Amino acid sequence: MGISSVNVSLQTKPNLVIPYNHRLAPLFIRQALYTLIPDGTEHIYVIGIGSSRINGDSLGPFVGTLLKNCFPERLTVLGNLQSPLDATTLIPELTSFTVRKNSFVLAVDSVLGSEEMVNSIVVNEGPCVPGAGLGNVLPPVGDCSIKGVILENDPALKNSLLCTDLHLVYTMAAAIAKGISLTVRQYFKYPSDHSILQIS
C-alpha cells in the first residue's frame, strides 16, 4: 500500500489545504502548482501512488486514470487503476524509468492525517513518502505532492481503508486531475479553449 501520513504541525506548512469537495478546488490546485513549477520546465510527470484493490489507497491510481492521454506531449502519467504503483511495484517501476531533463515530478497519494485535516486535499512543496502511514519503507517521490487526507491517523481506523467511501476518493481524484490539467494547459500555453478533463 502507498498510504502516506501528514501531520501539518510537524512538517513544513502546506502550500495549500482545501476541502475535498470545494467547488473551486481545481482552480486552487492550479494556482498552487503553477507557483511551484520552476521556470524552464519542459515536461511534467504525475506519479499516481496507491492500490486499485483498497478503496482508501486508490486516490493516486484514480488520478492517473483520469489524466491518461491528457496533453501527451507535455504530461506523462505513471500509475493508474489498470497498472497501479503500490508497495510492491513502485520501486521496480520508478527505477526502470528515466525522467527527462528539465522535468517536474508531481506525486499523488492518499494519506492519513489529524482529525481536522480529514477530507482535505493538501499540496506540498517537496516529495511525499509513500507507505509511511502504514509503516512501509519506500523512497520519497516527487518534486511536490498532492495528498488526499482520507482517514484520521489512528491505528484503530486503518482497517477502514478497505471500505473507505469511493465517492470521497473519486471526488478528490476528479478535483486533483482537473487542477493538474488546468496547470498543464496554463503553464505550457495551450489555447484557452483546449479541452481538459471531461468529468461530470
Helix axes 59-67, 166-187, angle to 10 degrees: 40
pTM of the model: 0.90
Q: Which residue carries 483520469 as its cell?
A: 66
Cα-trace Rg, the chain? 15
| Whole-number pLDDT of residue 156 | 72
CA dihedral 172, 106, 185, 62 (to 10 degrees): -40
At residue 77, the 3 state secondary structure works out as: strand
Structure-block grid coordinates of residue 152: 484520521
Give the span between the Cα atoms of 172 and 25, in whole angstroms: 9
Neighbours of 42 (CB within 10 A): 11
| Whole-number pLDDT of residue 5 | 46
| Whole-number pLDDT of residue 15 | 77
| Whole-number pLDDT of residue 154 | 79
| Whole-number pLDDT of residue 119 | 95
* Structural domains for the chain: 4-187 (3.40.50)
Tell which residue, 152, 40, 61, has the closest CA to residue 103.
40
Give the pLDDT means over successive 10-residue stretches in the chain (200 positions).
46 76 96 95 97 93 95 96 92 90 96 91 92 72 95 78 90 97 96 76
The model's pLDDT over 82-103, given as tens digits with 9 standing for 90+, comes to: 999 998 899 899 889 899 999 9
